[in-house]
Structure 1
Amino acid sequence: MNKETYLGVDVAPLTYKQVIKEITQRIDQNEQSTVIAVNPEKIMKSQSDETLRGLINGSTFQIPDGVGVLLASKLKGGQIHSRVTGVEMMGYLLHLAEQKSLRVFFYGAKEEVVTKAIENIQHDYPNIIVAGYENGYEQDNNKIITHIQESEADMLFVALGSPKQELWIRDHKDQLPVKVFQGVGGSFDVYAGNVERAPEFFRNNGLEWLYRLIKEPKRFKRQLALPKFLFTILKSK
């Protein structure tokens, strides 16, 4: 696929449905796929972190999660016309797993969070096959690997925070039978009902960042990555 590049970071100009179509084709061809959400904060951090930049660019699908990436594409005359958020991408993948009877494994977060998330997911996707789970506090990495191997999982969601989750996927994917990997950050908290998503108005108008800032003013420092990113893009333009 043709990818757009912003400050040395690749982004795939695909919609949810296009990503799912390509992942489905790759599953049929017995190929592994990795999905990583890209936002201005990650792109700016990657300017001084070559490992992070390599993790992003080495993934199969770099989805444009963040209104800043959408705006940058518009400024550059690119083809990214809508956001593809990590949490909603997870929902599309869960739907795919249910449709194709794929076995799903969940790794990360606190015990009570991951188990509640699975409970709610099974309610929303009654035919989904949960292959197993491990919480994010299990210290025995060999045990985790063995558990996933024995589960014969086709799809793996890793919620360890970025870039730890992407590093874990990169380091272990060749040992696993999994065909689809996604690092999902705090998405287990969303599915568990512990974190409320922004109202539809904010999401549809690219203002989710503003809603989060209103709810959590301490995020202000992190949100500065957005204007810094756009200013840098404008300078490079």
Structure 2
Amino acid sequence: MQKENYLGVDVTPYNYEEIITDLRERMKAGQQSTIIAVNPEKVMAAEKNEELRQLINSATYQIADGVGILLASKMKGGKISSRVTGVDMMDRLIRFAAEENHKVFLYGAKEEVVTAAKQKLEEKYPRLVISGYENGYEKDQDKIVKNINASEAELLFVAMGSPKQELWIRENMGKLNVKVFQGVGGSFDVFSGKVQRAPLLFRKLGIEWLYRLLKEPKRFKRQLALPKFLARILTAK
């Protein structure tokens, strides 16, 4: 695939279905794949942090989780036509796993959150097999790796926050038989019902950031990354 690059950070131009199609073939070939969400804030941080930039660019798919990435692509004549959010990518992968009989493992978050997320996902997708889970407070890494392999899971969702979750995946993927890895941040909170997403209209318009800002005004400084990012895109050679 021909990736787009913004301030040194790669972004995959595929939509949800194109990623699923590509993943299906990679799984059949026995290849491992990693998914990382990319937004303007993360790109700006990666511009100053070589390790973070390498971590992002080493992923199989860098999904455009942020309206700023979509705008940057349009400004530069790119091919990214829609956002691919981390939480919706997880939901689409869960549906894929349920429909095509792939086992899933959930790792991260508090015990009550991950168990509630497991229950809600199983209710939503009756054919889904979540063959194992572990909260994010277990310290024995060898035990976690052993349990994931024993579960025979092919898809692993890690909820630790970024970049901690991606660093964990990079460190452990060689020990695991998993085929698809995604760091999902706070997605378990959403699936468990603990955190409510922005209303559908905000999500369709790509302005979830505005809804979160209205709910949490203290996020204002973080949201300044968007205009700074677009300014950098305009002036970048």
Q: Is the shorter-chain TM-score for this pair beyond 0.5, marking a shared fold? A: yes
CA shift at 1:31, angstroms? 0.7
Look up the match of 2:65. Answer: 65
Look up the match of 2:8. Answer: 8
Look up the match of 1:122. Answer: 122
Look up the match of 1:150. Answer: 150
Q: In structure 1, what is the Cα distance between the partners aligned to 2:50 and 2:138?
A: 28
CA shift at 1:143, angstroms? 1.0
Q: In structure 2, what is the Cα distance between the partners aligned to 1:218 and 1:135?
A: 29
Q: In structure 2, what is the Cα distance between the partners aligned to 1:43 and 1:14?
A: 18
Q: In structure 1, what is the Cα distance between the partners aligned to 2:38 and 2:99?
A: 27
Identity %: 61
Which amino acid counterpart does residue 56 of structure 1 have in structure 2? I
Q: In structure 2, what is the Cα distance between the partners aligned to 1:75 and 1:106?
A: 37
Q: In structure 1, what is the Cα distance between the partners aligned to 2:99 and 2:204?
A: 27
Identify unmatched segments of 5+ residues in structure 1: none
**Counterparts of residues 60-99 of structure 1 (less than 5 Å):** 60-99=60-99
Look up the match of 1:168. Answer: 168
Q: In structure 1, what is the Cα distance between the partners aligned to 2:28 and 2:117?
A: 28
Q: In structure 1, what is the Cα distance between the partners aligned to 2:175 and 2:236?
A: 41
With normalisation by structure 2, the TM-score equals: 0.99
After superposition, give the CA deviation of every residue in 1:98-144 in whole Å (9 maximum; x if it has no partner): 01111100000000000000000000011111110110011111111
**Counterparts of residues 193-212 of structure 1 (less than 5 Å):** 193-212=193-212
Q: In structure 2, what is the Cα distance between the partners aligned to 1:221 and 1:131?
A: 41
Look up the match of 2:34. Answer: 34
Which amino acid counterpart does residue 73 of structure 1 have in structure 2? S
Q: In structure 2, what is the Cα distance between the partners aligned to 1:74 and 1:3?
A: 14
Identify unmatched segments of 5+ residues in structure 2: none
Q: In structure 1, what is the Cα distance between the partners aligned to 2:220 and 2:51?
A: 25
Q: In structure 2, what is the Cα distance between the partners aligned to 1:15 and 1:23?
A: 12
Q: In structure 1, what is the Cα distance between the partners aligned to 2:115 and 2:221?
A: 32
Q: In structure 2, what is the Cα distance between the partners aligned to 1:206 and 1:23?
A: 25
After superposition, give the CA deviation of every residue in 1:140-190 in whole Å (9 maximum; x if it has no partner): 111111111111110000000000000000111010000000000000000
CA shift at 1:42, angstroms? 0.5
Provide the secondary structure at the position in 2 that maps to 1:47. Answer: helix
With normalisation by structure 1, the TM-score equals: 0.99
Look up the match of 1:101. Answer: 101
Provide the aligned length of Structure 1 versus Structure 2.
237
After superposition, give the CA deviation of every residue in 1:39-96 in whole Å (9 maximum; x if it has no partner): 0010001011111111110000001000000000000000001000000000110011
Q: In structure 1, what is the Cα distance between the partners aligned to 2:10 and 2:55?
A: 11
Q: In structure 1, what is the Cα distance between the partners aligned to 2:9 and 2:31?
A: 23
Choose 216-225 or 71-80, whichever is displaced more. 216-225
Look up the match of 1:232. Answer: 232
| Runs of 4 or more above 3 Å deviation | none
Which amino acid counterpart does residue 190 of structure 1 have in structure 2? V
